[in-house]
Amino acid sequence: MRTAGVDVDDLAVAYDGVTALEGVSLSIEEGEFFTLVGPSGCGKTTLLRSIAGLEKPSAGRIAIDGRDVTDEPTENRNVGMVFQNYALFPHMSVRENVAYGLQFHDLGDGREADERVSELLELVDLASFGDREPTQLSGGQRQRVALARALAPEPDVLLLDEPLSALDAQLRERLRVQIKTLQRELDITTVYVTHDQAEALAISDRIAVVQDGAVEQVATPETVYRDPASPFVAEFVGDNNVFAGEVTRGGSGLDVGGATLPLPSEVDARDGESAALSVRPESISLEGNGGATGGETTLDATVRTTEFLGDAYRVHCLWNDRTVVVKTGATEPPAGDVTLRFDSADATALRNQGEFSRARRRETR
């Protein structure tokens, strides 16, 4: 299958004068699985629809495979789309639905089209379901038909808008693996929209975290998780503890509600600046009271609630009037007074306008 990169340059979209996107620039590579993730209303669907040619930008350019398509209608962009709500034709069979995707293609009908439909149904594992109507299918099967229909005309780019959000959790996890496997097999550039950060981490080559109509960070799932570029990304992606406070002690500490936490040594911060430290629950160890030793950060806390996760406990502790979440592999749920500790090397220092002096940010692969 032919595939192409997508370039978005300084894009802005407004609805009735209200800005939905502003200053968005992205470079999506050929064959990449690229995810737009962010909270409801942040503008990710608007961005996907702009790439599809379904929204008209008020500024900026969009190029597919190096060709400027900003003023081209959808049908000239060669993109395939799958929406959240299946959007299948209810009175057409599965085969007819998939064949519909071929109607503007050279293989409009005839034997070749029939073969192509069979091939696509095989691809999404629905070879024996061709004669059924959509109402006779499960939600996951319907979404696979929608996927086959979107792939029918051999699009350069596949655009998926929350394709799994109507499905239950187990099916969602199964189908996301199938989508990723298929994407790899076809090597097709894919732009995927989700509000589910765990899904974004699981499925993507790179992620763009979108907030309030702007891109906060573009990076691999690992980088977004381990090195969030802003307090928003740190809180939105994955379980996290974000300690917000004021820089103190000649830039070496962070005053968090009267307690001082050490800042990582490479941070270049001035006293009085507001900043935050983000520490993942799995980077914090939990010991019985007084159990912690060494020069690492220690917090005396009290266990409030524990959740059993199967392979670990998620423990909600109270420290300095705030909740600190810890993930521990203990065999019994911890209780009472505990000592939490973490290495400041496992903490990321953040401030609102991006990050401190650790330079490798944003477009990191």
What are the residues binding ligand ATP (CB under 6 A)? 15-16, 20, 38, 40-46, 195
Strand, helix or coil for residue 4: coil
Residues 6+ apart with CB under 8 A from 97: 88, 89, 134, 145, 149
- Which CB, 207 or 325, lies closer to ligand ATP? 207
Give the number of other CB atoms < 10 A from CB of residue 168. 10
The single-letter DSSP state of residue 355 is B
Instruction: Name which of 15 and 104 has its Cβ closer to ligand ATP.
Output: 15
Contact between 79 and 158 under an 8 Å Cβ cutoff? The reply is yes
- Planar angle of CA 15, 19, 23, nearest 5 degrees: 130
CB of 217 to ligand ATP, least distance (A): 16
Q: How far is the CB of 192 from ligand ATP (least distance, A)?
A: 12
d(C-alpha 73, C-alpha 63), whole Å: 13
Min dist. Cβ of residue 208 to ligand ATP (A): 12
Task: Please name the helix (run of DSSP H) or strand (run of DSSP E) that holds residue 217, with its range, or none.
Answer: strand 214-219
> Of 195 and 341, which CB lies nearer to ligand ATP in the complex structure?
195
* Burial class (CB within 10 angstroms; exposed 0-12, middle 13-18, buried 19+) of 22: middle
For residue 38, count other CB atoms closer than 10 A to its CB.
Answer: 27
- Please state the closest distance from residue 236 (CB atom) to ligand ATP, in A: 12
Q: How distant is the alpha carbon of residue 114 from its chain centre?
A: 36
Nearer to ligand ATP, 20 or 349 (CB): 20
Let me know: does 48 contact 161? Beta carbons within 8 Å. yes
Residue 49 CB, nearest distance to ligand ATP (Å)?
7
Least distance between ligand ATP and beta carbon 58 (Å): 13
Please identify, using beta-carbon distances, which residue of 45 and 328 lies nearer to ligand ATP.
45
Using DSSP bridges, classify how beta strands 241-248 and 253-256 pair: parallel, antiparallel or unpaired.
antiparallel
Q: Which is nearer to ligand ATP, 35 or 306 (CB)?
A: 35
Q: How large is the angle between the packed helices 139-151 and 111-123, nearest 10 degrees?
A: 130
Q: How far is the CB of 220 from ligand ATP (least distance, A)?
A: 22
Closer Cβ to ligand ATP, 16 or 106, answer by number: 16
